[in-house]
Chains A and B, each alone.
Chain A
Amino acid sequence: MERMATLKTIDAFRDVLKDPAKVAMDWKSQGKKVVGYRCLFVPEEIIWAAGMLPYPLYGTPEPIRLADSYFQSCSCEFVRNLFDQALDGKLDFLDYLALSNTCDASRRVFDHWNQYITACPAYLINNPQKLLDKTNREYYIAELTAFKQQMEELSGKMITDTGIRDAIELYNETRSLLKELCELRKQNPPLITSEEALDVSMAAILMPKDQANPLLQQLLSEVKEREVPENDGPRILVTGSTLDNPVLIRMIEEEGGQVVIDDLCTTSRYFWDQVDNAGEPMESLYRFLNRRALCACLHPMEARFDHLFKLIDEYDIEAVIDFNLKYCNPFMYEAPLLRKELEAQDIPFNVLEIGHDMSGHGQLRTRIQAFIEMIEF
């Protein structure tokens, strides 16, 4: 398969990912604070409105060394990886950690962090696990308000409604630009590869948005002018929990598949929706977060499946690959149910259990190869 020439702007995003900590250190050199966070139910806008940088925690491909003394090896590999980084001092620049109530592992990392990473307090936003439900409104807003108060205490700054609205506008712009980039992948062949899209998305999520947005605009104008070689590989949707390493995506594309859309926490799940900035800001954030029932950790499951089928339709998908992170229970439970629904629509589906440290690549490549051959046959 002929590869597209890379764009300088994409390289600029990739440079950010080569040293993610630099983003935080540059921010801190201005005398400002950095709040690490995981997952998508942490309202970044509140952190930004407090004058602090929301810093998404990504895993690294290094094997876990220290965290296995704290978490059993049968615990979520992603969470163990994050904790490993913390124990190893790689996240010492964080002033605070904000987590959300998603799964058993995220709750455990909250407990561990507060006990063993004492220089950086952790906070767990007690978001409801049942979304798309009006009965949770008062509760969820109360929890978001408590988080806001915590951010005010940490920053020493009052978070105003105007501040949140401005943050929402800025973050909406990022989401809108990333989505626009994503929509260029509807074309056949897409104007941007999935590996490029993943790198750009991860970098943009990491960067201060006032820096990311102009770069994204520049990238959009370049990509629209791009000439791309023909590619008649099957159009594939990749789903799963989190994927912070392009190796697997690249593997699919090297074996002839075209990953034209990815339903991941590091990509479209982040930017798919906009915050409606019209009303009272905490209400706006509540309504936005209450719609994010696109993760297997939260209910209802049907919302995630409905969304996947919309993507399948919009992106003209021929097959779906589910990268199931080892010991990620919510996604493991849903995989056979998703298979059943996809098979009912004659859409080929393959579940690939992956280790976060990318071990067993050779076997994965063989399976991907076989799957793509099967689709093409």
Chain B
Amino acid sequence: MEIEIPQVENPVVEEMQLEIANGFVRMQEQRAEGKPVVWRSLLVPAEIFRAMDVATVYPDLLGGNIGVFGQSGKYCQIAEENGLSRDICAVHRCTLGLAFAEGKDELFELAFAPPDLVVGCNFPCVSYSKSTQHVAKMYNAPYHFLDVPINTWGDQIPDHAIKYYVSQLKGVIEFLEMHGYKLDMDRLKEEVAFTKTLNALIDEIDTYKRATPSPMKPYDSSIALTVPLQITDKTRILDLFTRLRDDLKDRVEKGVGIVENEKLRLMWIGNPPIVDFNLLSYPEKHGVVVAKGLLELLTGFSLDPDLIDPDNPLESIARAHLLSPANPTHHGMLNYILNTVDDYKIDGIVAVVKRSCGQLPASLRLSKDEVFDKTGVPTAIFNCEGSDDREYDPVDARANLDTFIETLLVRKGA
């Protein structure tokens, strides 16, 4: 079965996609200006990097793009030829394969620049820190590890945890300053204020995304949330997201959905099928939509705006990150799923097992049981290594979705 590269549906998101390419151009310009290129894990707080105008490469997004453009098998193989196990995260294998590759596809030349510095963190999983460590060694780049405490405390984060995480964030700042960047605290406060504004806008967008019929395709949702990472022009970002909000608001008021006669709404947990993003839209042929996924958690823009205080930039960002559902403890993730089931009127959850993921697959049964006990909403768990096209079976994935949807439709009497 031929897999097509996904296309965005929403015209505002289409503009956003172009801006992402501009973001790569900007990074290359900064590099040409002599700024050290910093590879950083997605969930290292963006505000510091924006405030210091850092030339940034996101290894995780690189790996994702490699998958979207159908090159995952090739670059995973290069990583494996260089000693990496086939059992480690395929997204990170893609990135590392690209970093190892002597000749890179022209497609990725713009997005790629070798690191002068690397900042990794353990949030949300081991692969984020270990793969960045690898890249640093490969390029002999100074490496800094940001240690993010996991949230074992629930809603009440103790002061010592906030203090520790703040000290860790200061460590990142010191590391960058040691290598030529400079932080202006007023600028950091501005960036934190921007995050607050943007997250409030994203929350507003979410209220429209919850509508029935669903007004936004899942691929569009995923693309939109990477935009604030890739471009630095705050005015442009706010303009795009404001227009996206207005567009969705208009669709909701007119009752325009991505499918006519919407019958069911699904949530997608587990890694999205990067090599076949169209899979998320496949259920639409049944009148079923994937209304919400997890990918947006990985961009760092699902923070609670009420927690963010520009006058206490580091403390409030620390608190917001520790309370984010992306923090790798089960209760945070479970609450996120339960809230989504309620807010988005979810009929069923698709939970996919990415074979090379050491984190999410191990929590799917746990989420399945608790969500069903509390809400009666069923979860289907099936294998779907969607980050390595050598292991991905699009026919099997679609058949599994068909079966689950048919069951749900019968259940709903639709």
Contacts and interface: CB of A to CB of B under 8 A. Distances in A.
A135 B171 CA distance: 9
B356 A74 contact: yes
A139 B150 contact: no
A335 B133 CA distance: 12
A139 B150 CA distance: 13
Given A69-B365, A129-B147, A142-B158, A335 B163 contact: no
Contact of A301 (B87, B122, B133): B133
A275 B125 CA distance: 30
Nearest to A143: B160
Nearest to A146: B158
Contacts of B160: 138-139, 142-143
A107 B137 CA distance: 27
B122 A129 contact: yes
Contacts of B236: none
Interface string A209-235: 000000000000000000000000000
B83 interface: yes
Contacts, number: 131
Given A111-B329, A136-B164, A333 B133 contact: yes
Given A299-B129, A324-B85, A139 B364 contact: no
B331 to A, nearest CB: 8
Given A126-B152, A329-B126, A339-B83, A74 B328 contact: no
Interface string B46-78: 000000000000000000000000000000000
Nearest to B359: A104
Contacts of A329: 87-89, 126-127, 130, 358
Given A139-B160, A327-B358, A337-B137, A299 B145 contact: yes
A82 B134 CA distance: 30
Nearest to B125: A104
A376 interface: no
Contacts of B364: 72
Contacts of B158: 142
Interface string B80-94: 001111011100000
A329 B88 CA distance: 6
Given A115-B369, A336-B82, A72 B164 contact: no
A249 to B, nearest CB: 22
Contacts of B152: 101, 124, 126
A332 B150 contact: no
A150 B83 CA distance: 43
A129 B130 CA distance: 12
A138 B165 CA distance: 12
Interface residues of A, number: 45
A186 to B, nearest CB: 31
A124 B357 CA distance: 22
Interface string B124-144: 011101110110010000000
B355 interface: yes
A13 to B, nearest CB: 34
B26 to A, nearest CB: 31
B168 interface: yes
B232 interface: no
A21 B404 CA distance: 44
B150 A333 contact: no
A300 interface: yes
Contacts of A115: 366, 369-370
Contacts of B84: 332-333, 336
Most buried by A among B88, B150, B164, B357: B164
A240 B131 CA distance: 19
A57 interface: no
Interface string A111-145: 11001000000001010111000011011001100
Interface string B6-19: 00000000000000
B149 interface: yes
A172 to B, nearest CB: 28
Interface string B362-376: 111110011000000
A103 B361 contact: no
A195 interface: no
A291 interface: no
A104 B362 contact: yes
Nearest to B160: A142
Contacts of A340: 137
Most buried by B among A105, A130, A326: A130
Contact of A104 (B126, B163, B331): B126
Contacts of A272: none
A11 B369 CA distance: 46
Interface string A279-313: 00000000000000000010111000000000000
Contacts of B88: 329, 332-333
A126 B149 contact: yes
A135 B167 contact: yes
Contacts of B359: 104, 108
Contacts of B176: none
Nearest to B357: A74
A124 B361 CA distance: 20
Interface of B: 82-85, 87-89, 122, 125-127, 129-131, 133-134, 137, 145, 147, 149-150, 152, 158, 160-161, 163-164, 167-168, 171, 328-331, 353, 355-359, 361-366, 369-370
Given A74-B87, A111-B363, A337-B133, 6 more contacts: A75-B361, A75-B362, A105-B358, A108-B366, A139-B161, A143-B160
Q: Which 5 pairs of residues, A with B, have the shortest CB-CB distance?
A: A336-B83, A139-B164, A333-B130, A111-B330, A72-B361
